[in-house]
Amino acid sequence: MSVTDHPLLRRRDGHHARVTFEELFFDLVYVFAVTQLSHELLHNLTLSGVIETLILWFAVWLGWQYTCWVTNWFDPETPRIRSALFTVMLAALIMSSAIPGAFGERGFVFALAYVAIQVGRTAYIVWELGPNHALTANHRRMLGWLSIAAVFWIAGAFAEGPARIVLWAVAVACEYVSPMIGFSLPWLGRSTTADWTIEGGHMAERCQLFVIVALGETLLATGATLAEIEVWNPALLSAMLATFLGTLAMWWLYFGTSSKDATEAITHAADPGRIGAYFHYIHAILVGGIIATAVGNDLVMAHPHDGVKVAYALTLSGGPAIYLMGSAVYKKVVYGALPASHLVAALVLLALLAAAPFADLLTMGWLTTLVMMGAGLWEGRVRRRHRAVTDGAGSAPRG
């Protein structure tokens, strides 16, 4: 049976598969998840807090990303897939609600909800496909690895402290590394990226929409903090402007300079499954940078005149730097080269750590924002030149 011969699969007619209302509705629960993660990090800015938030973020991203691959293949407008998607959404809501206590008393709830998402969804797809469909072998291997990871998720829920961190880190590694080796398992074989017959434009758009979700949560956090403060003094308004412009710069670096080209790159790639796999990893870094930046924004808004502690400095410079490095790798996939604007800006952000002891949070917030805006202006100019050269070469007479 071919990869398109199933009543629940999307119809591939050579056109860009649209993102459905079901998928957009599904994404709403992840606005909540990103909010929970940023608040968790804000209230636990320690080394252990960073590690714990990182593990939770990877879980949130994995649950969303694996579901995204399913809706790339299967039509969410069919009743059975729609029902499966909304069931996953319910489990994701429970998982997200358990984030604040995931490394405490709600560890079992978090792990059980997450395992239900990953194993339950994939097992359902294997059942729907049947034993002879061309996509079944890949999903069986995927189910095998997710089941292995589930053992560590559940075991970690019964452990405490460092043991839970280690077990859940192993679970995350299973789910992140397994696609790199084609979900290879004894007796089940190995998949290749050519087997991942994705619709590239849809995959790119889904990742872009998640970036919008994360950036939107950053703006919501800024607005919520502003609304809670009774006296709006000049320092607060300056902090609000700095955080807004910093978020705008992140939007521009992604959507103003590369998102359309990324869609073209994956749509016309000889092996879109491979590019989709790259997106799987790159966007985890990108959105992780947005979450860390949102925490820095909260600090600047809430305490503009406070001194910059080491943890604060690392958050204010580190969040944008992580975002820039993720964006740089993203553009390497799209354009074939790392952008100098991103690398230089990331180095400047790290250099700002030396100035942190002599600045307050508001000053540090403005400095990081100016660096991000500078990177955006530089990269925008580079892309305009690139398009001008490309358009000129395309219109030049041949022969």
Per-residue tokens: 385: 């030149």
Per-residue tokens: 188: 């089940």
Per-residue tokens: 80: 């059975």
Q: What is the per-residue pLDDT for 398?
A: 39
Q: What is the per-residue pLDDT for 211?
A: 92
Burial grade of 195 (CB within 10 A; 0-12, 13-18, 19 or more): middle
Distance CA 36, CA 34 (A): 5
DSSP bridge partners of 307: 360
Asked if residues 94 and 39 have their Cβ atoms less than 8 Å apart, the reply is no
Distance CA 87, CA 84 (A): 5
Could you tell me if residue 269 is left (phi over 0), alpha (psi between -120 and 50 degrees) or otherwise beta?
A: beta
Q: What is the per-residue pLDDT for 274?
A: 75
Per-residue pLDDT tens digits of the chain, which is 399 residues long: 445 567 788 776 555 668 889 999 999 999 899 999 999 999 999 999 999 999 999 999 999 999 998 998 888 999 999 999 999 999 999 999 999 999 999 999 999 999 999 999 999 999 998 888 888 888 899 999 999 999 999 999 999 999 999 999 999 999 998 888 888 888 888 877 666 667 777 888 888 889 998 998 889 888 888 888 888 999 999 999 999 999 999 999 998 877 777 777 777 777 777 777 788 889 999 999 999 999 999 999 988 999 999 999 999 999 999 999 999 999 988 888 899 999 999 999 999 999 999 999 999 999 999 999 999 999 888 878 766 666 665 544 433
Per-residue tokens: 283: 């966007």
